[in-house]
Amino acid sequence: MAGNDKFNPASAYNDTQRMLDKVDRLRQLGVGQHVSLPQLVVAGDQSSGKSSLLESLSGISFPKAAELCTTFPTQIVMRTKKAWEARVYTVPETPNFTETACASKDAVQEIIRRVKEEDLKATADVSETVLVIELNSPELPNLTIIDLPGYVHTSVKGQSDDFKQKIDTMVDKFIQDRRSIILAVIPANKDFATNVVLQRAQKWDPEGDRTIGVVTKPDLVDEGTEAAVIRMMQVHYKELKLGYYMVRNRSHMDLQNGVNLAAALAKEAELLSQPVWGALDARQLGTQQLQTAVVEVLAAHVVKEFPAMREEIQESIRSTTDRLAELGDPLNDPKDRFHLLHFSISTLKEVYDAFVRGDYHLHPSMKLKLRAKVQELNETLYKDIKAVRIVRSTLEAVAVWAHLSLRSLDAVYCPIGHRATSEATVTRVKKIIAENRGIEMPGFGNYNAFLAIIIEMVNHWRPIVIAYMYSIEHLVTEFITAAVKYSVDPRIRKQILVAAESAVKASCKKNSEEAITMWKDELAMPMTCNNYFTDTLHKLRNADGHEGEKLSTFHDVMNSNSRSAERIKTPHDNKTYEAEDVIRAANAYRKTSFKRFADAVCLYATERHIMRGLSVAIIEIPKTIEMGSIGEPPTVSARRELLKAQLAKLHDGLAVL
């Protein structure tokens, strides 16, 4: 305590105090921007007596004019040293204020006044810049205090509309930190129950584990109301585990009368020794008792938090190192750019080829299983093409184009073992035969009618193939985007993604062109050398010959009235027989051609141009990228430098510990 001969703080300088020095060094290095540090913060209303309290603790006078209200945090670092010395600076450094060494207390006071008037208060707004005052003296304790701007109730002329909110936010930022010990300054002549700082402390320290109540201005309490103040301190004592302390600092009248700190301390002792305050514990009374308490509390707090601080700094070093590794080295050398580009392409190709093979275990974090999805689309293509029947109705044809999936449609063709010729189908085929009749005799079949039926069927394959190609392109584009994000260095990810998407489009275009060419070949002329066609046609003809009698008998027995189950009974007239035989031939060819076509699209289009072709296209990507375009944005470079500085700061901090 300044000016107190009985207090010998030098004797308290031990291992714990060296820890306090280390914390201050960490704060100077800026480690506090990344890791919470133990600190003692002073909070209260503008007129609560904070400045006078700081004077009593530090021996330095602070401006008290109403127009010079503090709008920035002030950190006071006090150390027990043989010689008096002081220096003042800001964190971070500001262009309009440089570090200043002070030869006297008056010089320090003048700098504080100037800073409040000119430097940090230039806009009359709240500033995050911290004014640091380092004081060395044989009379001072080893203590660091952060004085926060006082809570305000209204904004005044020259202040922004949200000035009050900004002050509240700044103070909350400090007191909500679990490593902050809160000195809550409360004037004795004001109502405790409505005090703002107590309310804020209660919010951020609900258990009262790290809040010390400091009751000021007991000399201004109205005569006869002292008991009420005592009751409030004693009742609230249970809520603040660190307790309440009462101090009497220099008043405005004392300053006008030139009362120095030593005299002020004497007046404090005289006031607090009066019987009216006798109900309070003597350990709660006076600046000396408060000073001893805060030194002990802060020291114990530092000892408690030291191991966790070390762990947090180490964790910050690890996370910062990881973020630097993600950014990689600067791409200033052309050789580095070339190497990075080809390494990234090689990695991308390896990932793509692995998923084409279905080796998903090689890259478990990639969730889109390419080969499995392609197989699923291939099976859907097969089922949808298989679902297209001969001699389709107009409604069915519209459904193909509208939904592009025919699995839910009712079939016109019935499986082998059942007659496949409903009356409506036979009637329509008869019409087709009549429209395409040549010189052939009945019973010899009408090839032109067969061709017309096949062309109609194959035409319905086209929208199915287009939908399949669209799905393949969407799938591969999604996979390539994920693979680039997964495997390519962030610094060239954008360029490679653009080139890779272009390669996907080119491969998908070839894929579509190949599939449509095969579709046109199917459309141009029915053709097969596969015995499966003749074998199937033979089975259909034999099945119809044998089953006809059974179904006729079935109709006679059951007397079914279902038109869908009705069968054309033998013997047939020539036109009916000819229509049924054309239908049998068309069905036999359909079973041959749709399997061939679906397999060909999957094998000769998708496998050739996508699954294998895109792998080759990925290798060619470097040829499409200008080496000059490979680099990193200025924001990435700035981010790297910031992380490097942060990492150096953290390593320095760890060395301090």
3-state SS record for 487-547: HCCCCCHHHHHHHHHHHHHHHHHHHHHHHHHHHHHHHHCCCCCCHHHHHHHHHHHHHHHHH
- Looking at residue 572, its pLDDT comes to 59
- Looking at residue 504, its pLDDT comes to 95
145 DSSP β-pair partners: 40, 76
Q: Which two tokens stand for residue 409?
A: 């449609």
3-state helix, strand, coil in the chain (%, to 5): 60, 10, 30
Q: What angle in degrees, to the nearest 10, is found between the helix axes of 423-435 and 447-459?
A: 120
Q: How many angstroms separate the CA atoms of 313 and 300, rounded?
A: 20
Instruction: Identify the weakest region by mean pLDDT among 95-99, 109-113, 157-161, 444-448.
Output: 157-161
Q: Residue 478, SS3?
A: helix
- Looking at residue 9, its pLDDT comes to 47
The answer on pLDDT for 258 being more than 90 is no
- Looking at residue 222, its pLDDT comes to 87
pLDDT band at 401 (very low <50, low <70, confident <90, very high): very low
Q: Residue 409, SS3?
A: coil
pLDDT band at 420 (very low <50, low <70, confident <90, very high): very low
pTM for the whole structure: 0.57
pLDDT band at 158 (very low <50, low <70, confident <90, very high): low
Four-residue CA torsion sign, 81, 84, 90, 92: negative
Cα separations (Å) of 192 from 153, 229, 231? 16, 8, 11
Instruction: Identify the weakest region by mean pLDDT among 32-41, 121-130, 221-230, 553-562.
Output: 553-562
- Are the C-beta atoms of residues 527 and 451 closer than 8 Å to each other? no
- Looking at residue 551, its pLDDT comes to 38
Four-residue CA torsion sign, 365, 366, 372, 373: positive
* Backbone phi and psi for residue 55, each to the nearest 5 degrees, phi listed first: -60, -45
The answer on pLDDT for 354 being more than 70 is yes
Cβ neighbourhood burial of 478 (10 Å; 0-12, 13-18, 19+)? middle
- Peptide bond between residue 92 and the one before it cis (omega within 30 degrees of 0): yes
pLDDT band at 544 (very low <50, low <70, confident <90, very high): low
pLDDT band at 349 (very low <50, low <70, confident <90, very high): very high
Q: Concatenate the DSSP letters of all residues of 592-624 into one string.
A: HHHHHHHHHIIIIIIIIIIIIHHHHHHHTGGGG
Which of the two residues, 472 and 424, has the higher pLDDT score? 472
Instruction: Identify the weakest region by mean pLDDT among 46-60, 225-239, 414-428, 464-478.
Output: 414-428
Instruction: Identify the weakest region by mean pLDDT among 117-126, 386-395, 428-437, 551-560.
Output: 551-560
- Looking at residue 296, its pLDDT comes to 87
pLDDT digits (tens, 9 = 90+) for 640-654: 889 999 999 999 989
pLDDT band at 19 (very low <50, low <70, confident <90, very high): confident
- Looking at residue 508, its pLDDT comes to 95
Which residues are CB-contacts of 227 (< 8 A; sequence separation ≥ 6)? Answer: 279
- Peptide bond between residue 307 and the one before it cis (omega within 30 degrees of 0): no
Q: Which two tokens stand for residue 394?
A: 């107009």
Q: Which two tokens stand for residue 402?
A: 């509208």
Residue 24's closest CA among 47, 46, 40?
40
- What are the sequence ranges of the domains in the chain? 9-311+651-656, 338-630
pLDDT band at 580 (very low <50, low <70, confident <90, very high): confident
The answer on pLDDT for 200 being more than 70 is yes
pLDDT band at 122 (very low <50, low <70, confident <90, very high): low
- Looking at residue 485, its pLDDT comes to 92
Tell me the mean pLDDT in the region 96-111.
82
Cα separations (Å) of 510 from 604, 609, 611? 11, 6, 12
- Looking at residue 332, its pLDDT comes to 66
- Looking at residue 545, its pLDDT comes to 56
Residue 150's closest CA among 242, 240, 216?
216
Mind spelling out the 3-state secondary structure of 252-300?
HHHHHCCCCHHHHHHHHHHHHCCHHHCCCCHHHECHHHHHHHHHHHHHH
Which of the two residues, 185 and 11, has the higher pLDDT score? 185
Which of the two residues, 136 and 626, has the higher pLDDT score? 136
- Looking at residue 89, its pLDDT comes to 86
- Are the C-beta atoms of residues 143 and 14 closer than 8 Å to each other? no
pLDDT band at 123 (very low <50, low <70, confident <90, very high): low
CB atoms within 10 A of CB 649: 20
pLDDT digits (tens, 9 = 90+) for 23-68: 888 888 888 888 888 989 999 988 888 888 888 888 887 766 544 4
In which residue are the tokens 């003597």 written? Answer: 282
Q: Which CATH architecture has domain 9-311+651-656?
A: 3-Layer(aba) Sandwich (3.40)
Q: How many angstroms separate the CA atoms of 228 and 232, rounded?
A: 6
pLDDT digits (tens, 9 = 90+) for 302-340: 888 889 999 999 999 999 999 988 887 777 677 777 888
Q: Which of 108-117, 122-131, 542-551 has the highest mean pLDDT?
A: 108-117
The H-or-E segment that residue 561 falls in is none
pLDDT band at 562 (very low <50, low <70, confident <90, very high): very low
44 DSSP β-pair partners: 185
Q: Which two tokens stand for residue 631?
A: 């680099």
* Backbone phi and psi for residue 648, each to the nearest 5 degrees, phi listed first: -60, -40
% of the chain residues with pLDDT over 70: 82
Q: What angle in degrees, to the nearest 10, is found between the helix axes of 334-357 and 461-487?
A: 130
Q: How many angstroms separate the CA atoms of 495 and 484, rounded?
A: 10
The answer on pLDDT for 368 being more than 60 is yes
- Looking at residue 65, its pLDDT comes to 53
Do β-strands 39-44 and 74-80 pair in parallel, antiparallel, or remain unpaired?
unpaired
Please give the DSSP secondary-structure letter assigned to residue 107: H
Mind spelling out the 3-state secondary structure of 200-232?
HHHHHCCCCCCEEEEEECHHHCCCCCHHHHHHH
Q: How many angstroms separate the CA atoms of 33 and 644, rounded?
A: 15
pLDDT band at 382 (very low <50, low <70, confident <90, very high): very high
Tell me the mean pLDDT in the region 109-116.
82
- Are the C-beta atoms of residues 94 and 128 closer than 8 Å to each other? no
Residue 373's closest CA among 464, 482, 467, 475?
475
The answer on pLDDT for 138 being more than 90 is no
Average pLDDT, the chain: 81
Which of the two residues, 593 and 329, has the higher pLDDT score? 593
- Looking at residue 468, its pLDDT comes to 95
In which residue are the tokens 């920035």 written? Answer: 72
Instruction: Identify the weakest region by mean pLDDT among 270-279, 329-338, 602-611.
Output: 329-338
